[in-house]
A = this chain, B = another copy of it.
Amino acid sequence: MKVTIKDVAERANVSIATVSRVFNKSGPVTDQTRHRVLTIARDLRYTPNASARSLSTSKTDTVGLLLPDLYGEFFSEVIRGADQTVQQYHHHLLVSSSHNNRNEIEAALRVMRGRVDGLVIMSPHIDAATLNANLPKSLPVVLLNCYVKDSSFDSLNIDNIGGAHQMVKHLIQHNHTRIAIIKGTEQNYDAEERLSGYRAALREANLEVSADLEFPGDFTEEAGFQAAKKILVLPHRPTAIFASNDSMAIGAISALRESEVQVPEEIAVAGFDDIPISKYMKPGLSSVHVPISNLGVLALERLFAAVTEKDNHIKKQDIITTELVVRESCGIHETNNDD
């Protein structure tokens, strides 16, 4: 049933070595034999067996992408960017998601090991020790928005603190003094950093940092909706809400409108991520722009650099800068986005 290199070789009256050379464009082969082999291979519908090839070359032509829970537009964008780059480098993409505790991540790491030439990890729960314990030293790894700050790994991190700080500062500059935050998932890296940025901006302006203004969330619309409901019943109502991502901001706006509270007139709302849809909200959602699909591209390019350069590869820890995007939801209509 299945056709192998041997079948092609026999029919073409050459050795399997020659067929191999033709398919790998390696070594010298006459045009004539090359052509004959290629024709017969096509007739027979021969494709080299990937496992056999991997076994002898110890390369898999595959890279892994480890993701947390997939939600919303964000991960579509990341995967799009990643896949695009992987295809460009003629590799394949093994995706594994929804690892939300240490055991699941360790299992995922072990499973990837031996199946991929390199690994991009986007996981809020990972630490350097776990990585070292479960991955061979030789496997190239790029950490995308992980907690790990360790110069022994390549990493790309969104400037969460800076972005949140900028947005909150912007609100303060426009006379908001009581600003609530809807936090991201507990223990999540982005969540904690965005919270830090928020607090830092308040402190800088000598505004009170109070737990009464910090509401739990988990990055979903529903969480934003619930948090806003709680904010609405506060005795001394905030004039602005900073949601730790756009999905929650959208949920929050929905809750406010349901209660007939005007955005931005009565309460200003701002988000984070600048997912594509935010622009089409009414009012348009002010947000902190993250180059999402570019994240996937950058991570994979770094990974391929590591794979190619081997021991000569120099690891870097990069911060991806964000950008303030002011739309209507925060009530401040400006043409230029200065802070």
Contact = CB atoms under 8 A, between A and B. Distances in A.
Given A221-B279, A276-B72, A92 B111 contact: yes
Given A51-B60, A55-B51, A55-B55, A251 B280 contact: yes
A247 B277 contact: yes
Contacts of A136: 1-2, 45
Interface in A94-143: 94-98, 110-111, 113-115, 136, 138
A136 B114 CA distance: 26
Nearest to A60: B51
Contact of A280 (B47, B83, B250): B250
Q: Is the interface of A mostly helix, strand, loop or mixed?
A: helix
Given A110-B47, A114-B48, A70 B76 contact: yes
| Protomer copies | 2
A205 to B, nearest CB: 31
Contact of A98 (B80, B97, B279): B80
A225 interface: yes
Contacts of A87: 96, 98
Interface of A: 1-2, 45, 47-52, 54-55, 60, 62, 69-77, 79-80, 83-84, 87, 92-98, 110-111, 113-115, 136, 138, 221, 225, 247, 250-251, 253-254, 257, 276-277, 279-282
